[in-house]
Amino acid sequence: MCSLGMLLANSAVAEKERINKPAHGFHGIWYMNQPTQTEYVYKYSGGLGTYCAKHRPLAVYAPQVNKTFFVYGGAPAGNPRKLLHLIASYDHKTGLVSRPTLILDKETDDAHDNPVLSIDAEGYLWVFSTSHGISRPSYISRSEQPWSIDKFIPVHAYFDTPEGKRPFDNFSYFQVDYSPELGFQVFYTHYHDPAVRTLFYTRSRDGVRWIPPIRVAAIDEGHYHVSCFQGNRAGVFFNYHPFGKKERGLNWRTNLYYLETRDGGTSWTDVDGQPVELPLTTVGNSALVHDFAADGRLVYLKDAGFAPGARRFLPRLRRAES
């Protein structure tokens, strides 16, 4: 890991301070979204320290040390609307939970900025501090020691593009997996690139140098996605947010699409294993699994995974349009 350490020390990119202090107990952030002006008050609200379903994973079990490490969106005692990023662990042998470590202050009250966790082959813990849109930066932090939550150091990640290095410092709805052969594989959203919520894929062997982002889909106003991983195999389900005069945007999300790659993003196939060219930009395309818009239904995606025998499964929420 010496080369990584040199990169961290020598980078000229301005970086946010890592606080690295024990927190006094567990206090999750409280958050609300979209006042409705109805009896329900908000679209949703409450304690959202592990929000949302499209941030994954929040917890990773490490059999090497028989611990589950987990991150969450915390808050200071007495100030439940100030977002802090924290990490803790559960020891399966002792049955005890560690005191959490405060990694950084995200300087927002938006739970969409909650963190995501991954662990590399050497046991280093990686915390990805996401952002909701492009108005705030994202951060990547790595534990100073393997299997330790005591201290985290900044990682100045970048895309290695033909035009040169470009900072990897803004990502939303981050979903990551680590495989020994490919390293980190990620599906994430980048706003207004060009769709409001554009779906991207990237990967990195060391967490610092990332391949140029692959634009997966940018249909109408964009997408929400849930992904699944199995070794080098990476699959992603997503809906789309339609254009329209009234029934438009994220609250009218519909349709179900699926894509996967087995070679780190070099090639992509649909649910039937047929090749697909990216990015997808039209509503009707070969990645479409079901046309829920034609059924008059909306689609809310919550989880996905590969079942035994390499078949895919997708629990989802649906409701008829009103």
Q: How confident is the model at residue 7 (pLDDT cuts 50, 70, 90)?
A: very low
151 and 277 inside one domain? no
Q: Calculate the average pLDDT of the chain.
A: 93
170 and 295 inside one domain? yes
145 and 179 inside one domain? no
**Number of folded domains that form the chain:** 2
Q: How confident is the model at residue 11 (pLDDT cuts 50, 70, 90)?
A: very low
Residue among 244, 201, 198 nearest 222 (CA): 198
| Cβ(149)–Cβ(89) below 8 Å | yes
235 and 133 inside one domain? no
**pLDDT digits over 266-315, tens only?**
999 999 999 999 999 999 999 999 999 999 999 999 999 998 766 666 66
Looking at residue 245, what is its pLDDT?
A: 75
Tell me whether residue 226 is in a domain. Answer: yes
Residue among 182, 155, 153, 181 nearest 168 (CA): 155
Residue among 26, 24, 4, 32 nearest 71 (CA): 26
48 and 181 inside one domain? no
End-to-end CA distance of the chain: 55
Q: How confident is the model at residue 319 (pLDDT cuts 50, 70, 90)?
A: low
Is residue 4 over pLDDT 70?
no
Q: Could you tell me the sign of the dihedral formed by the alpha carbons of 137, 145, 20, 80, in that order?
A: positive
**pLDDT digits over 224-241, tens only?**
999 999 999 999 999 999
Arithmetic mean of pLDDT, 123-136 = 98
277 and 250 inside one domain? yes
| Cβ(232)–Cβ(264) below 8 Å | yes
Q: Does 63 or 319 have the greater pLDDT score? A: 63
Tell me whether residue 128 is in a domain. Answer: yes
Which domain, by its residues, includes 296? 166-322
Cα–Cα distances in Å, from 1 out to 123, 149, 314?
A: 12, 18, 38
Looking at residue 138, what is its pLDDT?
A: 98
